[in-house]
């Protein structure tokens, strides 16, 4: 049997502990879910790489239409932004002096974008695109008017535009009475995601020095000290546990969970922080991290379950069964969708029946 590295062993242990804690809190009920539309065979592995908008100088007026035709899918009304996005020039300087095959680039972009949009339209609403203007204040508790649970964006910037989660990078956003929103994006390997409940790790304790002679040029770095609840973000989440204000949650493609979208980011509705505690984190030195247990509020549209064809994340190689981890797709045909007890117009749930 392939040995588990020390890191893996610790990870398994941490996950087991966190899971047990969720259970002890009574957060182990059944999750109402629906399946993510299966990916089209082959085609674009296209993670969120679709966001490259380097059409700085070579404007191609045909893009908009190409997009619509590509897969015979009608783009949603609200997506026709892009055109003159004020930020469209971003990075243009970086591209200057470089030879780029725009034709090829454009084609790639159109492909992945259209695929993402097509899929999204069958699963949930498509959010605003990057570069658009924000219409609502992200600094408020609860849902954002007009943004349904299940809404999907290519990038974090999109989530920010729709006021679901303001920071482009940070995972936690909030105020005095607790967090407004959090992003689950796999930043910490020992977090547990059961869909209706999950554990989350706070921030801080990472020197952003990162590399070489460019100190602080990285946006994330390995844990290098204990996290504490003195950290403002961590404090906010702890406060959430007291006020029990609802927290908006988005799941990102990097999250290792069956509830993570295969691409981009998805708004999964409101959760409440049930508990906040400190524990030894998953890092070489065993630095402490702030942990939180979240529970999903009832009467919301069902969560979407990832339908990954192949591309199992390595490990799953036999043995070590008893350990949890992320359940790597067990079911095949179980479709327990349409069970939402929420009444507010049973929309957001006519997925399935796609087939490539």
Partner DNA sequence: GGGCCCGCAGGG
Partner DNA sequence: CCCTGCGGGCCC
Q: For residues 240 and 247, what is the distance between their CA atoms, to the nearest angstrom?
A: 8
Q: Is 241 in contact with 273 (CB distance < 8 Å)?
A: yes
State yes or no: residue 256 binds DNA (CB under 7 A).
no
Q: For residues 304 and 70, what is the distance between their CA atoms, to the nearest angstrom?
A: 25
Name the nearest CA neighbour of 232 among 161, 183, 302, 178.
178
* Interacting residues of 84 by C-beta distance below 8 A, sequence separation 6+: none
**Binding range to DNA, per CB under 7 A, among 171-179, 267-275, 317-325, 341-349:** 171-179
State yes or no: residue 51 binds DNA (CB under 7 A).
yes
Q: Is 49 in contact with 112 (CB distance < 8 Å)?
A: yes
Q: Which is nearer to DNA, 127 or 301 (CB)?
A: 127
Q: Which is nearer to DNA, 24 or 49 (CB)?
A: 49
State yes or no: residue 96 binds DNA (CB under 7 A).
no
Residue 20 Cβ vs DNA, minimum distance, rounded to whole Å: 19
State yes or no: residue 245 binds DNA (CB under 7 A).
no
Angle between helices 63-70 and 102-123 (to 10 degrees): 50
The tokens describing 52, both together, are: 């490259």
* Residue 4: how many other CB atoms lie within 10 Å: 15
Q: Which is nearer to DNA, 131 or 302 (CB)?
A: 131
State yes or no: residue 181 binds DNA (CB under 7 A).
no
Q: For residues 159 and 168, what is the distance between their CA atoms, to the nearest angstrom?
A: 8
**Which residues are registered as beta bridge partners of 247?**
271
State yes or no: residue 174 binds DNA (CB under 7 A).
yes
Q: Which is nearer to DNA, 175 or 286 (CB)?
A: 175
Residue 340 Cβ vs DNA, minimum distance, rounded to whole Å: 26
Contacting residue, 124, 150, 252, 269, with DNA by CB under 7 A = 252
State yes or no: residue 120 binds DNA (CB under 7 A).
no
Q: Which is nearer to DNA, 81 or 90 (CB)?
A: 90
Residue 355 Cβ vs DNA, minimum distance, rounded to whole Å: 27
State yes or no: residue 95 binds DNA (CB under 7 A).
yes
| Rounded alpha-carbon distances, angstroms, from residue 23 to 1, 66, 161 | 30, 50, 36
Q: Is 300 in contact with 270 (CB distance < 8 Å)?
A: yes
Contacting residue, 191, 268, 279, 326, with DNA by CB under 7 A = 191
Residue 1 Cβ vs DNA, minimum distance, rounded to whole Å: 24
Cα 169 vs. chain centroid, distance in angstroms?
Answer: 12
Residue 314 Cβ vs DNA, minimum distance, rounded to whole Å: 9
| Rounded alpha-carbon distances, angstroms, from residue 66 to 46, 183, 285 | 18, 32, 52
Contacting residue, 57, 71, 168, 334, with DNA by CB under 7 A = 168
Q: Is 223 in contact with 285 (CB distance < 8 Å)?
A: yes
State yes or no: residue 187 binds DNA (CB under 7 A).
yes
Name the nearest CA neighbour of 301 among 338, 264, 248, 272.
338
The tokens describing 48, both together, are: 């969120």
Q: For residues 187 and 260, what is the distance between their CA atoms, to the nearest angstrom?
A: 13
Q: Which is nearer to DNA, 4 or 354 (CB)?
A: 4
Cα 48 vs. chain centroid, distance in angstroms?
Answer: 11
Q: Which is nearer to DNA, 78 or 139 (CB)?
A: 139
Q: Which is nearer to DNA, 252 or 325 (CB)?
A: 252
Which string of x and - marks every residue 200-219 that binds DNA (by CB under 7 A)? Answer: xx-xx-x-x-xxx-x-xxxx
Residue 165 Cβ vs DNA, minimum distance, rounded to whole Å: 9
Q: Is 349 in contact with 301 (CB distance < 8 Å)?
A: yes
Q: Which is nearer to DNA, 160 or 283 (CB)?
A: 160
Q: Which is nearer to DNA, 12 or 253 (CB)?
A: 253
Residues in contact with DNA by CB under 7 A are: 48-49, 51-52, 54, 87, 90-91, 94-95, 98, 134, 138-139, 154-157, 160, 166-175, 183-188, 191, 200-201, 203-204, 206, 208, 210-212, 214, 216-220, 231-233, 252, 254-255, 265
């Amino acid at each position: 049997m392939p040995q588990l590295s020390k890191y893996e062993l610790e990870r398994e242990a941490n996950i087991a502990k966190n899971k047990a804690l969720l259970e002890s809190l009574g957060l182990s009920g059944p999750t109402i879910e629906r399946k993510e539309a299966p990916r089209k065979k082959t085609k674009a592995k296209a993670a969120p790489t679709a966001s490259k908008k380097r059409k700085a100088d070579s404007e191609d007026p045909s893009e908009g239409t190409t997009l619509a035709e590509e897969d015979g899918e009608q783009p949603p009304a609200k997506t026709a932004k892009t055109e003159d996005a004020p930020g469209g020039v971003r990075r243009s300087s970086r591209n200057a002096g470089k030879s780029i095959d725009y034709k090829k680039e454009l084609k790639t972009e159109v492909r992945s974008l259209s695929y993402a949009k097509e899929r999204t339209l069958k699963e949930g609403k498509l959010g605003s695109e990057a570069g658009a203007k924000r219409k609502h204040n992200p600094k408020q508790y609860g849902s954002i008017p007009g943004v349904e649970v299940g809404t999907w964006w290519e990038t974090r910037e999109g989530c920010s535009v729709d006021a679901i989660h303001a920071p482009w990078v940070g995972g936690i956003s909030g105020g005095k009475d607790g967090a407004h929103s959090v992003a689950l994006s796999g930043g910490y390997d020992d977090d547990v995601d059961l869909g209706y409940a999950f554990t989350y790790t706070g921030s801080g304790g990472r020197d952003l020095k990162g590399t070489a002679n460019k100190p602080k040029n990285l946006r994330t770095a390995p844990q290098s000290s204990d996290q504490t609840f003195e950290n403002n973000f961590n404090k906010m989440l702890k406060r959430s546990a007291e006020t029990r204000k609802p927290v908006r949650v988005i799941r990102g493609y990097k999250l290792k969970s069956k509830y993570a979208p295969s691409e981009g980011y998805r708004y999964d509705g409101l959760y409440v922080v049930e508990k906040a505690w400190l524990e030894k984190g998953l890092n070489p030195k065993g630095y402490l991290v702030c942990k939180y247990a979240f529970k999903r509020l009832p009467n919301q549209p069902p969560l979407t379950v990832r339908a990954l064809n192949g591309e199992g994340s390595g490990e799953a190689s036999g043995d070590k069964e008893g350990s949890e981890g992320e359940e790597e797709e067990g079911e095949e045909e179980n479709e327990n969708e349409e069970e939402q007890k929420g009444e507010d117009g049973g929309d957001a749930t006519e997925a399935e029946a796609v087939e490539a």
